[in-house]
Structure 1
Amino acid sequence: MKPFAAALFSSILLTAAACSHAQDRQAIDEAKRAAEEWLALVDAGQYKASWEQAAEPLRKAVSIAQWEQGGRAARMPVGAFQERSLASSTYTTTLPGAPQGQYVVLQYTTRFADRANAVETVTPMLEADGKWRVSGYFLK
């Protein structure tokens, strides 16, 4: 009986892990779609629209004027967007300095006209309405 119980318990754990992995993968896919739609606005210099479509914590932390000014200051030195490739994606429920929630940290290797090897970190979060929206953006 004990070997059967151990095998059953192991099977349950593996099934739970597979379901969790599938849910994480779905979250990553949905967050990635939201991030890439949002990035298209930033790439086009539509900073006001990107702020309007961002997650509430980002909009509360930065005024629209600050966002537009910061966007231009960050993007002008690197030149026009040329190509972006997803380097990593991580689903998490905790981030330093952020409230408990569902987040996906996406890192892209990006080529701009004046910088060939930039790294963009985009962090969408799942908001209360069930939509993924960008809560953080960093260009290095």
Structure 2
Amino acid sequence: MKVLLILLISWMLVPVTFANDAQMLDDNAGMNWLQMIDDGEYSKSWQEADSLFKSQLTSSKWQKALRNVRKPLGKVVMRKKHSAQTHTSLPGIPDGHYLVLTFKTQFEQKTKAIETLTLSKQSGEWRAIGYFIK
């Protein structure tokens, strides 16, 4: 009976472990993409974004937007994940697998900012489809 109970508990924990691993991978994909922007690799961040993102914004417009918005903020001093929410539906885009990450971020020239990064898994990999700073 003890063996059965241990096996049952172990079996119940496996999905949680996989879910946590998947969440870590998703977070890593988001952090890697943000790091490209932090490093000034704006063109590369566009190339690594989801096709939906690229269909809405040319590389040159993306780079110009980041130069106008991110550059004046200065370097990232601190970034801490605030929330992560999964969605299967978001306004204005096809149903799919989405992850919305929010970060509390401190820049050199803006001490309190909220970054929102939306990722899509439409292409089989988590890729950025949206990025906003408040």
TM over 0.5: yes
Alignment of 1:90-105 (within 5 A): 90-105=85-100
In the TM superposition, what are the counterparts of 1:28-107 in structure 2 within 5 Å?
A: 28-107=23-102
Following superposition, the deviation at residue 26 of structure 1 comes to 4.4
Secondary structure at the aligned position of 1:116 is classed as: coil
- Helix, strand or coil: the match of 2:112? strand
Amino acid across the alignment from 2:67: R
Matched positions, count? 122
| 3-state SS of paired residue (1:99) | coil
Provide Cα deviations, 1:81-109, integer angstroms capped at 9, x if missing partner.
11100000001111111110000000000
Amino acid corresponding to residue 105 of structure 2 in structure 1: T
CA distance in structure 1 between the partners assigned to 2:19 and 2:94 by the alignment: 19
| Alignment partners' CA distance in 2, 1:102 and 1:69 | 29
Q: Give the TM-score of the pair, scaled to structure 2.
A: 0.83
Give the deviation of 1:127 after TM superposition: 2.5
Partner of 2:6: none
In structure 1, runs of 5+ residues without a counterpart are: 1-14
Structure 1 residue 74: Cα displacement: 1.0
> Is the contact between residue 125 and residue 135 of structure 1 (CA under 8 Å) also seen in structure 2?
yes
Cα RMSD after superposing both structures: 1.7
CA contact (8 A) 1:27 1:91 kept: no
Identity of aligned residues (%): 32
Match of 2:127 among 107, 111, 133: 133
1:126 CA displacement: 0.5
Give, as a single letter, the amino acid of the residue that structure 2 aligns with 1:132.
W
- Which structure's CA Rg is the greater one? 1
Mark the runs of 5 or more structure 2 residues left unpaired by the alignment.
1-11
For normalisation by structure 1, the TM-score amounts to: 0.80
Tell me the distance in 1 between the aligned counterparts of 2:21 and 2:89. Answer: 18
